[in-house]
Amino acid sequence: MKNIFKYSALALAFLTATLGAAQKYEHKFQDPELSNAERAEDLISKLTLEEKVGQLMYGAPAIERLNIPQYNWWNECLHGVARNGRATVFPQAIGLGATFDTGLILRIGQAISMEARAKYNASVANNQRERYQGLTFWTPNVNIFRDPRWGRGQETYGEDPYLTSRIGVSFVKGLQGDHPKYLQAAGMAKHYAVHNGPERLRHEFDAVTSMKDLWETYLPAFEALVTEAHVEGVMGAYNRTNGFPCCAHPYLMQEVLRKKWGFKGYFVSDCWAIVDFYEGHKVVDTPAEAAAMALNAGTNLNCGSTYPELVNAVKQGLTTEAEIDKNLRELLPTRFKLGLFDPPGLVPFDTIGVSWIRKAEHVALSLEAAEKSLVLLKNVNNTLPIAPGVKSIFVTGPTAAHVQALLANYYGVSEDLKTILEGVVANASPHTSVKYRQGALLDEPNRNPQDWFSGVAAESDVTIACLGISQLMEGEEGESILSNHFGDREDIGLPQNQIDFLKKIRANAKKLVVVLTGGSAIACPEVYEMADALIFAWYPGEQGGLAVSNAIFGKSVPSGKLPVTFPMSVDDLPPYEDYAMANRTYRYMKKPPLFPFGFGLSYTTFSYGSLSLSKPSIGASESITATTTVTNTGKYAGEEVVQLYVTDLVASVEVPRYTLKGFQRVALEPGESKIVTFEVTPKMLEIVNEDGESILESGEFQISVGGSVPSNRSRSLGAPAYQQANLMVK
């Protein structure tokens, strides 16, 4: 009898709990105790065909009968929460790449995630659920910046797959958080997979690439974000790749992404890319065919206007409701991971309030990132830093007070955007005379030909000429209103009017400091020759002007490194439409560059001790360590980015001249030395054959360590001597 009562009590407790759950949640998909797959399955079972199709749209409508509010999937946070008002504006992505600082990027991702939740919570509290107010962020852009003419290259982390992978993984981990159940925000790897312009042709262009280039250059960063960072989303590109639209590519989307890499998140089309199937690529004739083609290939979400045609596509037999259900099973779990169906207060991020938006620590982080992104390209006779108490400073040039040169594209806005002019004024001593005249227009000769500026340079102790380009001149297809090439650049030099302006300044200036802004490589040999000191500032974010000024006055020491190669001229580049990697980027380019990848000077100097390998030869399953000693041989405390490169000296196929395989930021006081060690694994020594397979071959490899890519050009520009050692693989 005792056991009967015991089991009856258990049954009663179970029944009570079950009834309680049933009373608490009207539908199973609302129950946070169930798995995301179970919840998604229950929700799908309750939807009509039309409702299912609606949930496959980026602007998913409310389903009032199920108490499901509308949700807009489209949001951006390339370098801060974008297009939704007040937020901390960090340096543009290309500048973040120049930091070579994965820990910094992780912190930036975390800060953006806090602001994202704060803005989302505030929006929902005010019943606002429109575009740019959700938690699914279509960031980062991990395309490889293969050609400096591409206007959207500024959105990437540079030209190197390894650097892009490390920066991208850190950003996604920071953005998505590490909660065991919930995503703080959802990241995305875009644009999958081979996407680098031309912007004006992207809706019809077929990017043809070899399997070797595909796996050696274009895919590694996507693989890292999927397999290491577990990025929640992947976005397909506008273009075709080797004949197939990227948003309906059986090999890339299913064989590689889902099967080989085990991707478990959702796949979205770039915005209105499915329209391109019939208007641009002309691979189908009708919207219904385009919608079915994308859905059947695994595009779970349509950013655009085509998926309502899925209702007709089902009726026409082009796809099935079962296929729609399959796509919803891949799409809906993201909303559950974000806690969007859970009761208010249950998700731990529900308490993040608006005080986190532009929190003081975030603003300071933006400044730190901008300072670490600055690349010092020249500093003759210790022109920099200048003394804060200098008698007179002349600030001039078209970007000195140009806010767009801070913001880049996909930007948020702030009430505290510090231009370079404002930064200089903030740091100059009260008795210093600071004069400002713009002097030149951004991209055309002055309409008034009178020289009202060069005389001021003659009267000033230091002239700071702020030149370069901005988002007005390079960017996405429709946004760069000064571009004649839909956001791309036909020439990669400075506008000629800026060169002519600088010549007049140079003829009069006592000391000439040039600050260049831009999101891509600028071929500027004339500027390099004329400047006493040259800083490349990228698009440095809301605190960018203060960061530049801090470097000029010595409050910070430049430590950024170039994430892209700067060619001597556009004539050194292959045709823009050619997607072969031959003669592109530091890995394949044979012509000497203006500035090499990984290059960047400091106010101090560094030296490298000899490179020591723990073993001179290894087997196919062995790893070794490579060790050097880095010493600060100058007078300033500074940070050096120690870079490790690998070259296969006896490969059976053509291989990169050098390949970045490791980097570490090292902070050193004057006279201080630190031992820096890298692990060299067999994976790092693999090459990619013509079939796109990664293989390890026996033979001799060269291991190089230094402060720039190992080249004669690096040495001639003042980079510290790199160290090398050879390794045999048996």
**Rounded to 5 degrees, what angle do the CA atoms 570, 573, 579 make?**
135
* pLDDT tens, position by position, 71-120: 999 999 999 999 999 999 999 999 999 999 999 999 999 999 999 999 99
Distance CA 684, CA 161 (A): 13
Q: What is the mean pLDDT of residues 523-548?
A: 98
SS3 readout for 611-673: CEECCCEECCCCCEEEEEEEEECCCCCEEEEEEEEEEECCCCCCCCCCEEEEEEEEEECCCCE
pLDDT for 4 equals: 34
pLDDT for 478 equals: 87
Pick from 251, 252, 249: nearest CA to 222:
252
Tell whether the model's pLDDT for residue 219 goes beyond 70: yes
Tell whether the model's pLDDT for residue 410 goes beyond 70: yes
48, 97, 159, 639 from 719: Cα distances, Å: 65, 19, 20, 14
Pick from 446, 433, 448, 430: nearest CA to 395:
433
pLDDT for 23 equals: 54
What's the maximum distance between 2 C-alpha atoms anywhere in the chain? 108
Q: Which residue has the tokens 């020289």?
A: 451
Q: Which of 115, 232, 270, 289 is catalytic?
A: 270
Model confidence band, residue 17 (pLDDT cutoffs 50, 70, 90): very low
Tell whether the model's pLDDT for residue 190 goes beyond 50: yes
Q: Which residues contact 725 (CB under 8 A, 6 or more apart)?
A: 610, 611, 612, 613, 626, 702, 703
Model confidence band, residue 18 (pLDDT cutoffs 50, 70, 90): very low
Mean pLDDT of the chain: 96
Could you tell me whether strands 699-706 and 723-729 are parallel, antiparallel, or unpaired per DSSP bridges? antiparallel
Model confidence band, residue 11 (pLDDT cutoffs 50, 70, 90): very low
Q: What is the mean pLDDT of residues 553-571?
A: 98
Q: Say what percent of the chain tops pLDDT 90.
A: 96
Q: Say what percent of the chain tops pLDDT 70.
A: 97
Q: What is the mean pLDDT of residues 206-234?
A: 98
* pLDDT tens, position by position, 380-408: 999 999 998 899 999 999 999 999 999 99
Q: What is the mean pLDDT of residues 309-317?
A: 98
Q: What is the mean pLDDT of residues 597-613?
A: 98
pLDDT for 67 equals: 96
Q: Which residue has the tokens 């059986």?
A: 250
Task: For each of the domains in the chain, give its residue range(s) and CATH number, in order of start.
Answer: 71-351 (3.20.20.300), 362-564 (3.40.50.1700), 606-729 (2.60.40.10)
Model confidence band, residue 361 (pLDDT cutoffs 50, 70, 90): very high
SS3 readout for 191-206: EECCCCCCHHHCCCCE
Distance CA 161, CA 218 (A): 7
Q: What is the mean pLDDT of residues 603-617?
A: 98
Q: What is the mean pLDDT of residues 315-334?
A: 98
Tell whether the model's pLDDT for residue 10 goes beyond 80: no
Pick from 108, 185, 179, 187: nearest CA to 348:
179
SS3 506: helix
SS3 106: helix
270 is catalytic: yes
* pLDDT tens, position by position, 615-627: 999 999 999 999 9
Q: Which of 31, 115, 368, 474 is catalytic?
A: 474
